[in-house]
Amino acid sequence: MNARIKSYFDILSNLLRINSVESEALPDAPFGKGNKEALDFVLDLLKGYGFKTKNLEGFSGWGEIGEGEKMFAVLGHTDVVPEGNPKDWTFPPYGGEIHNDILYGRGAEDDKGPLLACIFAAKELLDEGFTPKMRLRFIVGADEESGWVCLDRYFKTEEVPYLGFSPDADFPVIYCEKGIVHHTVEVPCPKKIKAISGGTRANVVPDYASATVQNCEGEEFVLEATGVSSHASRPENGENAIVKLLGQIIGTCAKKSGDCLTEKLYKAFSNCDGSELNLKLEDESGPLTINIGLVEKVGEKLIFTTDIRHPVTVPREKITEILQNALPFSKVTDIFSHPPLYVPKDHFLVKGLLEAYEEVTGVKGEPIAIGGGTYARSLPCGVAFGPIFPGDKSSIHELDECVSAANFEKCVAIYKAALKKLIF
């Protein structure tokens, strides 16, 4: 690792050591103490690099440099998803430790690492004497993983960028993002299930779930299921502990007790392609996916929370209708959604970013569609750009999230080429 990247890793390590999972709100810290610290860290870094900064009451903030009527934005976030069981990590999730030129920590790929890579790229251009042709603004959110209240606050009072990208997905460049909709699925709780819980977020494949159940003899015991966490946009890469738990309940007591509801739920949720729910849909943006991210018992009800990534040509209202019809014994409620993103492949923003990627890597690229949702969809015209390289295994939302020095250096070079081409 060269000294330049080592200095960048040292800064990123300090940011990764801040636990910025959303927590209890405090004065000037609407998403918790750690989220405020992480947001302040990035804004202080930008200020130190000569950017004018503004903190929006801890919800979000921005740093800007340059002049002109038009403003180009890079949008990233400093909050992270929960780490799961820290004992399952090879290195501490908030340790910011470097081993064999690899930096480990929650946020290394999503999104602290890529955000800083873009900031370092801009600083290098400024240090080399380049002057931006328009204003360059870094917009930093602190609630991307939990509801985007941060961006709601930003757009309430702040200027809408003319153009921009979010370094929160894949290379070479994302021209299309599926729509996202979260539902609660509420059903009567089978009498044999006395307690149940599982999952941390709708957009994370749960790696643990447990239930207290009663057998036909009236004895109570605890069932536990472990899975493999992954991002909800790629549920096939994980192993859903809630689904496994439903299977265990069926195997141990549900069939004997005549509980057909658990069997129906298990069958409905067993495939992440929605095929058991009449939701096996696809277009150029890719196939629909569904993740059962949370389950809890509230009174005499079981409430499941789903994360569905749907094709851009299918309205979310249609998804809700199909889901309700497939589960007539339940109450389905649309609780959260993001519209899809689509920018034509021949748009100059897509072409410019793709050219930057190809110049640095020497590899021919093709714009792609994804199931992930980024801040780019909040812009009149924006796309997602990096940081995961084609063929690389992503560790986003997984154990041992990390970034290698080689990939980080390549990211900085690509973002530098892109900013130089489009702004400087």
Which residues participate in catalysis according to the annotation? 79, 144
| 66 contact partners, CB below 8 Å, separation of at least 6 | 131, 132, 133, 134, 135, 136, 423
Whether the upstream peptide bond of residue 161 has omega within 30° of 0, thus cis, is: no
Are the C-beta atoms of residues 46 and 347 closer than 8 Å to each other?
no
Q: Mind giving me the DSSP string for 131-185?
A: --SSEEEEEEES-TTTT-HHHHHHHHHSPPPSEEEESSEESS-EEEE-EEEEEEE
Distance separating alpha carbons of residues 414 and 165, to the nearest angstrom: 13
> Which amino acid does the sequence have at 160?
V
Q: Report the chain's terminal Cα–Cα distance, integer Å.
A: 28
What residues pair up with 384 in beta bridges, in sequence order? 166, 174
The closest of 205, 201, 182 to 323, measured between CA atoms, is 182
Q: Calculate the CA 320 to chain-centre distance.
A: 22
Structure-block tokens of residue 157 = 């009072």
Q: Residue 170 to residues 188, 301, 333: CA-CA distances in angstroms?
A: 41, 39, 31
Distance separating alpha carbons of residues 309 and 370, to the nearest angstrom: 9
What residues pair up with 264 in beta bridges, in sequence order? none
Number of CB atoms found within 10 A of residue 250's CB: 18
H helix runs in 204-308, sequence order: 241-249, 260-269
